[in-house]
Amino acid sequence: MRGSGILLPVSSLPSKYGIGCFSSEAYDFVDKLVRAGQKYWQILPLGPIGYGDSPYQSFSTFAGNPYYIDLDRLVSYGWLMEEECAAIDFGQDESRVDYGKLYQERFRILRKAFLNSKVKENPEFIRFCEEQSAWLADYALYMAIKIEYDNRPWDQWEDDLKERNTEALDLKREQLGDEILFYEFLQYEFRREWNALKEYANAKGIRIIGDIPIYVSFDSADAWAHKELFQFDEFGRPIAVAGCPPDGFSADGQLWGNPLYNWEYHRSTQYEWWMKRLGFCFSMYDIVRIDHFRGFDEYFSVPYGDVNAKNGHWEKGPGIDLFRKVKELYPDAEIIAEDLGYVTDSVRQLVRDTGYPGMKVLEFAFDSRDTGSAVDYLPHNYEKNSVVYTGTHDNETVVGWYREGLLESERHMVRDYFRDHITPDDQIHKTLICGAMASAANLCIIPMQDLLGLDNSARMNTPSTSGTNWKWRLNRDGFSDDVIKKLCKLTKLYGR
């Protein structure tokens, strides 16, 4: 069935506390989606962020980001006072997230709420910890030790902690009991608030599309507690790490640095960890978008210690074997395969074999330097079983792309293809949105920045860079009544 929705990370929602969260503004956004005739809200990963503020580099594949906890809700519980929250400086620019100030202030105020919550006596909290013990115990211990070690990753801890010596861990559980409880409290409150928001959205007819990275961070509870899952040597060091090969855009390739999976081990366990991970995601979201789907067919392996990805090579992934198991355990699960980038025939076959919809990005359709796959992204070539985007969180905004990312000849291609030589350049997003909406793809997702026609100052992420990413936020009046009415009209026009 045809439908459409908006891509807007939770962090990009308006709020008065420095970052988007599960606050009244999130519920208001859901209501606006309904008024705009939308059926989907796509978000980015919800995990706690690590170095570089990236949601794709998290301290846990299961935990949630404490920044998204609504402080007003904590006030309503009596755990905080309004004056305490109002006195905090979370940054003066409501259009950008100041992660430095958030890190300094958010945990301080959350600790006050924790101390006032008396959560240890709460039966609901106790039940949550028991139900989530498979990951929560290791995560809370990991974060408590990490704080004690000045936030250093686990490979810089003492040997008995790196190697998870039972006596050493028991001692830390005793010494850091309150800190462990704090991190368990954060996860309890995160999940309680997220469940409430998702239930509200679902009741309004809005389905949530979640996003999971294929890889986990080395600096994570997963890598520390389950070394057997990864390609580590006997000392717990990665043998090789993830990345992307050199191409026309990057002569050195991309060195992501994530540990690679030991797929032989995963196969021997019938992909037990992956089934738990995906099952957790299916409980969190209505639809799951799996990032870097081609890594399940083949993944790029870079020798550990290399400064770039030039010496990497491709290795075979688990392929369809993994997804047969998914189908067996979760027959009704809905998945979107992020099959972007350099796509081989074997990747295309894997996507076809799974039956999952792949992604189509309009910005990729007009790259004259890509003589291979660019044509696949032209709307007349779309299959119904696909999801079309004008761009993604990793791309320039449509307006920025048209102004700065295209050759003059490519701009002519855009105009000729859509038979539009009239629309002003700064309104070109409207042409691209209509093209996406009109396409045969069953699902159309428009990033909020493209819906509003914003330039590259609103770009969410520039791959292979750090320091300026993941900061953009929606202004309070950005998703206005006028924008909502026009989007609703388009949605009806194109049968979505």
138 is an active site residue: no
Residue 465: the pLDDT is: 82
pLDDT at 129 over 90: yes
Query: pLDDT tens across 261-292, in order?
Result: 999 999 999 999 999 999 999 999 999 999 99
Q: What predicted TM-score, i.e. pTM, was given to this entire model? A: 0.96
pLDDT at 364 over 90: yes
Average predicted confidence (pLDDT) for the chain? 95
Catalytic residue among 291, 339, 410, 450, which?
A: 291
Catalytic residue among 94, 160, 370, 394, which?
A: 394
pLDDT bin (cut points 50, 70, 90) of residue 466 is: confident
How far is CA 99 from each of CA 233, 393, 456, rounded to the nearest angstrom?
Answer: 34, 18, 20
Query: pLDDT tens across 162-207, in order?
Result: 999 999 999 999 999 999 999 999 999 999 999 999 999 999 999 9
pLDDT bin (cut points 50, 70, 90) of residue 459 is: very high
Residue 251: the pLDDT is: 83
pLDDT at 371 over 60: no
Query: pLDDT tens across 40-96, in order?
Result: 999 999 999 988 899 999 999 999 999 999 999 999 999 999 999 999 999 888 999
394 is an active site residue: yes
Query: pLDDT tens across 415-429, in order?
Result: 999 999 999 999 999
Residue 372: the pLDDT is: 60
338 is an active site residue: yes
Catalytic residue among 338, 396, 410, 450, which?
A: 338
